[in-house]
Structure 1
Amino acid sequence: MSWKITAFAPRPVVEAALIAHEDVFDWDPDIVISGSEVAEDQPEDWRLEAWLPRRPTRADRAAVAGLFAGDVPDLTVEKLPETDWLTLSQQGVQPIRAGRFHVHTPEHPAADEPGLRDFVIPASQAFGTGQHATTSGCLTMLTEMRRRGVIVRNCADIGTGTGLLAFAALDLWPRALATASDIDHVCTGVVIDNAGANGVPLGAGSGQLTMLIADGMDHPLLTARGPYDLIIANILAGPLISLAPDFGRHLVPGGHLLLAGLLETQEAQVRSACRAAGLRLAARLVRGDWSILWLRKRTDWRRPRGR
């Protein structure tokens, strides 16, 4: 991507703009949006950034401005150097230590500590799409699930990106069937490469990972390989709400659902959608502004008629 639009505003304003973005059904997929704090010592000062593969048009600037309610902050437009900005943005990323896992890029050494599973995830197009707070929260929650005696024989990681959370699930439950999916075709090669680098076997059998491209749960193989004991989805609040009925339908009674990618301010909406799908909260974590939810499907749940 060669152009960027930036707006600086207080954190609540940027968070509201990110939520508004999720509700725009005809959003141009070429415009990638993210929000982040300006600096660690300025937690209330945020920026919204929009990356484009072209010089922004008046309509592009209007689309970004339209995400803000009330006064629109000043928008600055800049041309970026011709480089792989996603890979560049991950250089120097600090390792993640969460639960029984240590995750790092090749620039950092592996952890040499008994009982700690090390994963190396290179900077790549897929690696840049996640939030470290949500990733570490999911790794922590998966570890806690295993500590509490959760048994997983069949799991799915929806919106897998790099495959990391699917790798972690297979490490915790090494005899499980595992399926990873993503809507982005580039993730297929990324997951295959990362699986090879981390000794994760690919295939359709016990202890192996199957990778496929799917929009949410909409894939015949996802249906055929279910129902699941565990579904993981570290994506965004909007898709989590939309997919809640599908998650409930594809879980066994008493099955587990791990959700992340939602702001704490969006948690009530996500939990409401999950309750309607027969899912109840088992545990939650908050990492910074992000919520990580562990839910379970009610054992007595019956799908309401007409749905």
Structure 2
Amino acid sequence: MSADAASGETWKLTAHAGKRAVQQALLAHDMIDEWDAELVIAGRELAEDRPEDWVLEGWYPREPGAEQEAALAGLFADNPPEIAVERLPAQDWLTLSQQNVQPIRAGRFHVHTPEFPTDPDAIDFVIPASQAFGTGQHRTTAGCLEMLGEMKARGVVARRIADIGTGTGLLGFAALRLWPLAHATASDIDEVCAGVVAENAALNRIALGPRPGQMAFVVAEGMDHELLRVNARYDLLIANILAGPLVELAPDFARHTAPGASVLLAGLLAGEQETAVRRAYRRTGFHLVARIQRGDWAILWLRKRRGR
């Protein structure tokens, strides 16, 4: 382990470019099979009043070298932007992120960090800023919360729930609040999420375990875990991850969901990514029920055809 990794520091790589260039870079990333898993990337607009100005950001657990900078720059087809590199001490970064995270209201849900009060008129969650994705701030997470409320309002019954790529556990928690007697299983590829989910479950009085009304957590890639397979077939499956993995997982999701099951997909950009995802799920027996777009991000509610 390097000194940087031992101290808990993170390094950030930043590339500023136009909206289309960053979106194309994200598409290119989805097509790379041998990407360094330690180099985590995300794209976003700089501000709501500057919709064409975007930034591609990468995070690395130690000081990045020329290889990591070249990987990020290589995602841009033409005229790659300059890559800025900075060190983010873990303690300072967490403090800063806590200060910048404002409460959100997403449909029936209110999500906030511990510094803010609860909302007695909403389904309330306390989610500290952390290393895991899914605090509710990103438009895909907030859109998923809205869509879960819509599913409940439209009569969806969920007895077996899976949240694939759970991050903080928030979407799995939200599903359990709406369907409190369900069996719920959450997973993430990142081992750090085990501690994050356990902490957040305690903060929000979510019981962890295998029984109805509880949520079991496993570290797994996709559906590659015995518990995920044993607990199938799911009638609600949530996956707020990335477009590339969503396409790859379509056959697995079809095998592990019940006829008539609802699948909630997010983490994909409207346009080419959404088209690819919808095509993959149509081929495996799903049809579109509803769609939300938040900024450039699409949130899809699909239903599995009966008899599949």
> Could you tell me the TM-score, scaled by structure 2's length?
0.92
Q: 1:86, 1:128 within 8 Å by CA — same for their partners in 2?
A: no
2:77 match: 69
The one-letter code matched in structure 2 to 1:57 is G
1:20 aligns with 2:45: no
Judge conservation of contact 2:104–2:136 (CA < 8 Å) in 1.
Answer: no
Equivalent in 282, 285, 302 of residue 292 of structure 2: 285
Q: Which runs of 5+ in 2 are unaligned?
A: 1-8
2:166 equivalent among 160, 163, 186: 160
| Corresponding pairs, count | 299
Label 1:128 to 1:151 Cα distance change in 2 as closer, same or farther (>3 A).
Answer: closer
Q: 1:258 touches 1:293 (CA, 8 Å); kept in 2?
A: yes
| Residue 82 of structure 1, CA deviation | 5.9
Partner in structure 2 of residue 274 of structure 1: 281
Is the contact between residue 255 and residue 296 of structure 1 (CA under 8 Å) also seen in structure 2?
A: yes
What is the aligned counterpart of 1:295 among 285, 293, 302? 302
Equivalent position to 2:46, from 24, 31, 38:
38
Shift, 1:61, TM fit: 1.9
Aligned 8 A contact 1:156 1:178 in 2 = yes
Change (3 A) 1:150 1:128: closer
Q: What secondary structure does 1:91 align onto?
A: helix
Q: Amino acid of the residue matched to residue 204 of structure 1?
A: P
Q: Distance in 2 between matches of 1:128 and 1:211?
A: 15
Aligned equivalent of 1:304: none
Alignment-derived partner of residue 135 in structure 1: 141
Counterpart for residue 11 of structure 1: 19
Matched residue SS, 2:100: coil
User: Residue 185 of structure 2: which of 167, 179, 186 is its match?
Assistant: 179
SS at match of 1:146: helix
Question: Is the contact made by 1:121 and 1:127 (CA closer than 8 Å) also made in structure 2?
Answer: no
* One-letter code aligned to 2:45: E
> CA distance change for structure 1 residues 178 and 80 in 2, over 3 Å: closer, same or farther?
closer
Displacement after TM superposition at 1:4 (Å): 2.8
Q: TM-score, normalised by structure 1?
A: 0.92
Deviations 1:4-29 (A, max 9, x none): 32221110001111111121111122
1:175 aligned counterpart, secondary structure: coil
Computed over aligned residues only, the root mean square deviation of the Cα atoms, in angstroms, reads 1.7
In 1, the alpha carbon distance for the partners of 2:82 and 2:186 equals: 40
What is the deviation of 1:87? 5.9
Change (3 A) 1:131 1:268: farther
Q: 2:244 aligns with which of 231, 234, 238?
A: 238
* Aligned residues with identical type, % of pairs: 62
| Whole-angstrom CA distance in 2 between matches of 1:70 and 1:201 | 50
Looking at structure 1, the residues matched to 81 and 75 of structure 2 have their Cα atoms a distance apart, in angstroms, of: 11
Name 1:202's counterpart in structure 2. Answer: 208
User: Could you tell me which amino acid in structure 2 is paired with residue 267 of structure 1?
Assistant: E
Decide whether aligned partners of structure 1 residues 90 and 211 sit closer, same or farther in structure 2, where only a CA change above 3 A counts: same
1:259 maps to which of 259, 265, 275: 265
CA distance in 1, matches of 2:299, 2:25: 21
Secondary structure of 1:260's counterpart equals strand
Name the CA distance, whole Å, in 1 between partners of 2:208 and 2:254.
Answer: 27
Asked whether the 8 Å contact 1:281–1:293 carries over to 2, the reply is yes
Aligned residue number for residue 224 of structure 2: 218
- Return the match for 2:55 from 47, 52, 64: 47
Query: More displaced, 150-159 or 41-50?
Result: 41-50
CA contact (8 A) 2:268 2:274 kept: yes
Q: Indicate conservation of the 8 Å contact 2:104/2:137, yes or no.
A: no
Cα deviation code 1:204-239 (max 9, x no counterpart): 111111111111011111111110110000111011
CA drift of 1:246 comes to 0.6
Cα distance between partner residues in 2 of 1:233 and 1:147 = 20
Structure 1 gap ranges (5+): 302-307
Aligned to 2:93: 85
Q: In structure 2, what is the Cα distance between the partners aligned to 1:187 and 1:223?
A: 20
